[in-house]
Amino acid sequence: MPPTTTPRPARPRGVTPRLAYRPGVAGRGVVWALVTAVPLVFLTVFFAYPVASIVLRGFAPDGAVDLTAFGEVFARPRTWRIIGLTFAQATVATAIAVVLGLPGAYLLYRCDFPGRTALRAFVIVPFVLPTVVVGVAFRSVLAPHGPLGFLGWDGTFAAVVAALVFFNYAVVVRTVGGFWAALDPRAEQAARALGAPPWRAFTSVTLPALTPAIASAAAIVFLFCATAFGVVLVLGGPRYGTVETEIWVQTTQFLDLPAAAVLSVVQLAVVAVALVVAGRARDRRERALQLRSAETAHPHRLALRGPDRRTGDVVAVAVTTAVGVLLLALPLGTVLVRSFRTRDGWGLGNYVALGTTGGPNALSVTVWEAALTSLRVAVDATLVAVVVGGLVALVVSRRPRGRAGRRAVRTLDAVFMLPLGVSAVTVGFGFLVALQRPFGLDLNLRDSLVLIPIAQAVVAIPLVVRTVLPVLRAIDTRLHEAAAVLGAAPGQVLRLVDWPLAARSLGLAVGLAFAVSLGEFGATAFLARPDQPTLPVVIFRLIGRPGADNLGMALAASVVLALLTATVMLLTERLRAGGRTTAAGEF
């Protein structure tokens, strides 16, 4: 009699077989625990611990809770003037950036015309330029002998606001434009068919629909403006300083660490409020996108003449052209032209001087040596940022089936994005305060050169995550399940499925991290040694020295730094063929 066999129960539909993974369940859990632990430890040691040390120094300078430092700092008229200037500059710059950015968003994302892609790339360049270069550019434009010197804005509140708008114009254009491109145009078309004039249809239908995107962009622009450092330090000086620059002044000039700690706490509160507002606006934006029609909204052909001519198109072209020429192109072009002007006329004298240390007591190294230092530091910072940011993106791109797992992934995503909302100056100051004897260990990291690339990596990690994460999240989970069914180990799944799809976005992340590290100034200004400064630090020192020769060297060095950054971004743009997501698009 043949042996009887018990039939195997049928597997429920939709349940993934786990035979391939079962032999390594424990090992797989250990691997994912390590992958999660590495960035968490890095974030704890080099971000949470320094920032928490600043907070504790403000609330408990001697180990016990004491609010005396807060009372002393807030009793100074200077403190309230600085806080008022911070909010005033951020508010005015945000309002102007939104007003000027809306026509640009419409033109670049709702209209179709030759050269639109190149113009989009040009608009994003100012956002990645080093802040010191932008400060030098606007000083050149607004100087008494500059193209806009007749305005009398040099060293004024208006100069700082103009530079902040220059930086954040792209944020509004990309954030609002991306939303506008996906907006269903049929509601506005219906209003026009019912007899509403174009302006009435826009204000009654389109503008309310754009409100979540506008609010999100405005909150982020306010955050960037409130934490701006290099631009304000170069253009505003002591007269128009902000909380960010005041932290630097109290630390480096007055040696008043308790006052700087209190101001850091104030800035953290401002950042937290801005992040909450931005998060709520982003949630509203996402809900609005879910409510839109599935039909793709195609841009209309731009027509400035003939029967298809639209008044709104003409206004958008006029405003965007004025912004592109006067606000974006003119400052950079002025720096380039003036870098060839020497005491003896026009020539390459300023570039030849880059091989020297400038005038008496100007520099301790040549500009070319500082450039090499910047490149070495940027390479190290990029390596750290890509490794840590890549691990973060890999972890938070997972889709756990359980509610607790999904909530944990969302929490980790939010935690890893915290460095994006805390200023680089606060991070650099935290390194000075906390890493002389970290965690009570007999280890002085504050005087180590390793801290500069680490501080720059902390700033760049969120950009790496926001570049790689959307690509990883777009991978169909069925590819992972199919690889598992075929017997692939977890490492093979990552190598054969995730890596080929994420490789191009990772290349883009490398370029962005390198460009950001190359021009980082806020944290580096605290940590750079006098004998090994980076190029942005050298430019700032040259600006602070009197004499036309030092200014000429600063202009030439700014051109070199801008060219290095532009070259990196050009190479980065060539890596976008595999995907259209950029950090700028993930604001």
**Tens digits of residue pLDDT in 188-228:** 767 777 777 776 777 777 778 778 778 878 888 888 888 88
pLDDT band at residue 503 using 50, 70 and 90 as cut-offs: low
Query: Is a pLDDT exceeding 50 seen at residue 578?
Result: no
Q: At what angle do helices 243-252 and 424-434 cross, to 10 degrees?
A: 30
Query: What does the pLDDT read at residue 110?
Result: 81
Q: Work out the percent of the chain whose per-residue pLDDT is above 70.
A: 74
Find the angle CA(498)-CA(47)-CA(581) to the nearest 5 degrees.
35
What values do phi and psi take at 228, rounded to 5? -65, 140
Of residues 483, 494, 511, the one with CA closest to residue 574:
511
H/E element, 455: helix 451-473
CA distance 413 to 392: 8
CA distance 44 to 388: 13
Q: Tokens 């999660």 map to which residue?
A: 36
Question: pLDDT tens digits for 217-260?
Answer: 888 888 888 888 888 888 877 778 888 888 888 877 777 777 87
pLDDT band at residue 14 using 50, 70 and 90 as cut-offs: very low
Question: What is the domain partition of the chain in residue ranges?
Answer: 78-228+287-338
Query: What does the pLDDT read at residue 305?
Result: 63
CA distance 392 to 579: 20
Which is more confidently placed, 406 or 556?
556
Question: pLDDT tens digits for 521-562?
Answer: 878 887 888 788 888 888 888 887 887 888 888 889 888 888
Query: What does the pLDDT read at residue 17?
Result: 44
Query: Is a pLDDT exceeding 60 seen at residue 15?
Result: no
Query: What does the pLDDT read at residue 488?
Result: 60
Which is more confidently placed, 316 or 25?
316
The region of weakest confidence among 174-188, 201-215, 483-497 is 483-497
CATH of 78-228+287-338, one of 3.40.50.1100, 1.10.3720.10, 2.60.120.590, 3.40.50.880: 1.10.3720.10
The whole-chain average pLDDT of the chain stands at 76
CA distance 573 to 587: 18
Which is more confidently placed, 487 or 136?
136
Q: Work out the percent of the chain whose per-residue pLDDT is above 90.
A: 6
Contacts of 381 (CB under 8 A, 6+ apart): 452, 453, 454, 456, 457, 460, 513, 517, 520
| Local structure of 54: helix, strand or coil | helix
Q: At what angle do helices 367-396 and 451-473 cross, to 10 degrees?
A: 40
Q: Tokens 């607004």 map to which residue?
A: 142
Query: What does the pLDDT read at residue 68?
Result: 77
pLDDT band at residue 587 using 50, 70 and 90 as cut-offs: very low
The region of weakest confidence among 43-47, 94-98, 295-299, 387-391 is 295-299
pLDDT band at residue 298 using 50, 70 and 90 as cut-offs: low
Of residues 53, 49, 85, 51, the one with CA closest to residue 422:
51
Of residues 244, 242, 274, the one with CA closest to residue 157:
242
pLDDT band at residue 51 using 50, 70 and 90 as cut-offs: confident
pLDDT band at residue 282 using 50, 70 and 90 as cut-offs: low
H/E element, 345: strand 345-346
Q: What tokens were used for 26?
A: 């424990």
pLDDT band at residue 175 using 50, 70 and 90 as cut-offs: confident
CA distance 233 to 555: 17
Query: Is a pLDDT exceeding 90 seen at residue 98?
Result: yes
Query: What does the pLDDT read at residue 405?
Result: 72
